[in-house]
Amino acid sequence: MTPRIAIVTTVDLSVPDADEELLLPHLPEAQLVAWDDPAVDWAEFDVAVLRSTWNYHDRLEDFLDWARGVSEITRLRNPVATVEWNTDKRYLHDLAAAGIPVVPTTFVLPGEQVPDDAVIALDGHLVVKPSVGAGSNGARLFDGDAEGAAAHVAALHADGKVAMLQPYLAQVDTHGETALIYLGGRFSHAARKAAILSRDMSWETGLYADEKVAPAEPTEAERELADRIVAALPGLGHGDLAYTRIDLLPSDDGPMVLELELTEPSLFLAMHPGAAESAAEAFRALLD
């Protein structure tokens, strides 16, 4: 079968992602290609589905320029407007404005100081990370170390990055982080990730931290919140999505959004029987 679907990765990923190894046998219409391979003729494909483009944060403008160009040649999914919005976590402002509970966040631009009214003081139990990043790249956990937290903010600023401060929600240590995956707008499955910042991280691939992930059944509150987010996304200008991953953290006030993954998320296809087939069906439907 002539490939009509590009499953988009990067030349920096030396072996296929685990999701792709499970997906491709069920999707003979697809071919694995790299966004940063200049030899690819994108006009050969009817659809390009972003998957493991995990080096985008190091070359964001190049990546967005590529996405804009490819979207004029073929159908990019998720759409380029969504990719532009979702690759910078300042989208959390929009979710909060829409009434979605998000982890409280203060963004600090290069040249700015951490404001006195930040959601968490530098000497608190907090996470400091860049607003543009994949996985846990650039994220660090501090507890009572104001000097270390300030130094990390300064280091991010020195790299031209926007720093973001969030309180560390301690419930994650026992409950974990829940990822709910929607394929073609429908709930597919969920996974639970261990609190990656509360332990030593491994970076075997050089692109992302290796995570401890297990199948999970979302709580009623988690499912209700995730369904509400999926229903709200078209009104925020982000419809016609091939996939949505919603990462939730537990809090005293119920689940809160940590991240909304619409660009290149792991879909944890191994976590649920039939998930790979469901993803293939959702991506095949993009050809209609």
* Tokens 């903010």, residue located: 153
- Domain-located, residue 284: no
Residue 204 structural domain: 91-101+171-273
- Domain-located, residue 251: yes
Last-in-domain residue among 167, 188, 213: 167
- Domain-located, residue 283: no
- What is the model's pTM? 0.92
User: What CATH number does residue 129 fall under?
Assistant: 3.30.1490
Residues 96 and 200 in one domain: yes
In three-state form (DSSP H/G/I as H, E/B as E, the rest C), the secondary structure along the chain is: CCCCEEEEECCCCCCCCHHHHHHHHHCCCEEEEECCCCCCCHHHCCEEEECCCCCHHHHHHHHHHHHHHHHCCCEEECCHHHHHHHCCCCHHHHHHHCCCCECCCEEECCCCCCCCCCCCCCCCEEEEEECCCCCCCCCEEEECCHHHHHHHHHHHHHCCCCEEEEECCCCHHHHCEEEEEEECCEEEEEEEECCHHHCCCCCCCCCCCCCCEEEECCCHHHHHHHHHHHHHHHHHCCCCCCEEEEEEECCCCCCEEEEEECCCCCCCHHHCCCHHHHHHHHHHHHHC
Residues 11 and 123 in one domain: no
- Domain-located, residue 282: no
- pLDDT tens series, the chain, 288 aa: 688 999 999 999 989 999 999 999 999 999 999 999 999 999 999 999 999 999 999 999 999 999 999 999 999 999 999 999 999 999 999 999 999 999 999 999 999 999 999 999 999 999 999 999 876 778 999 999 999 999 999 999 999 999 999 999 999 988 899 999 999 999 999 999 976 555 444 333 333 345 689 999 999 999 999 999 999 999 999 999 999 999 999 999 999 999 999 999 999 999 999 999 999 999 999 998
Residues 96 and 209 in one domain: yes
Residues 95 and 232 in one domain: yes
Residues 72 and 162 in one domain: no
Rounded Cα gap, residues 229 and 24, in angstroms: 29
- Domain-located, residue 269: yes
Residues 38 and 122 in one domain: no
Residues 217 and 95 in one domain: yes
Residues 64 and 126 in one domain: no
User: What CATH number does residue 60 fall under?
Assistant: 3.40.50
Residues 34 and 69 in one domain: yes
User: What CATH number does residue 228 fall under?
Assistant: 3.30.470.20
Residue 189: what are its φ and ψ, rounded to 5°? -165, 175
CA count, 13 A, side-chain hemisphere, 173? 5
- Domain-located, residue 279: no
Asked if residues 139 and 133 have their Cβ atoms less than 8 Å apart, the reply is: yes
Residues 135 and 68 in one domain: no
Last-in-domain residue among 147, 167, 187: 167
- Domain-located, residue 288: no
Residues 97 and 205 in one domain: yes
Residues 116 and 208 in one domain: no
Instruction: Give the model's pLDDT for residue 204.
Output: 39
- Domain-located, residue 257: yes
Asked if residues 128 and 163 have their Cβ atoms less than 8 Å apart, the reply is: yes
Last-in-domain residue among 55, 86, 117: 86
Number of domains present in the structure of the chain? 3
